[in-house]
Amino acid sequence: MMEETKTIWSLLEAVNDPEVPVLSVIDLGIIRKVRMEDGRPEIVLTPTYSGCPAMDVIRMNIRMVLGQHGYPAVKLTTVLSPAWTTDWMSEKGKEKLRAYGIAPPLPVQTVCHLDLFQREEAIACPHCHSYHTTLISEFGSTACKALYRCEDCHEPFDYFKCH
């Protein structure tokens, strides 16, 4: 039983986030629990954002990967509480993000409050590592990212924003 859930966890390493394909669902921290029920795996997952369009694709990909490895019937349960946070992203995942050109979320969150026109977080450019960067918009190409520009290498880049 324990062995089997371990196998499922390792199979899930192969299921990637369609929007950020270098991250697995494990790296993202959206898999909350895996358990076996009458030989059928149940996977408990949580969305990053309420409207994240990747969730449907992720659910389908989990079914496909497990189906290919002898688990034709999988129960997928969505939980909303406790709400997903970027703190649940694995260290390995953060490294993969940086290598992919997306600045990973900061370990200490500083902008999840209501103050207006806040001093921007110091985000390192994933390309040249300069901290001389400027926020362009808190809403980027997907709900989970903000848009920045590096003032040294002049490249725009995504920042996986605190949540």
Contact positions vs another protein (CB under 8 A): 47, 49-53, 79-84, 112-117, 136-141, 143, 147, 163
CB of 17 to another protein, least distance (A): 16
State the nearest-atom distance from the C-beta of 138 to another protein, in Å: 6
Nearer Cβ to another protein (99/112): 112
Compute CA distances 109 → 11, 19, 86, 94, 127, whole Å.
31, 23, 9, 15, 22
The token duo for 53 is: 């369009």
| 8 Å CB contact between 68 and 15 | no
Residue (37 or 115) nearer to another protein, CB: 115
Other CB atoms within a 10 A radius of the CB of residue 141 amount to: 11
Residue closer to another protein by CB (options 71, 160) is 160
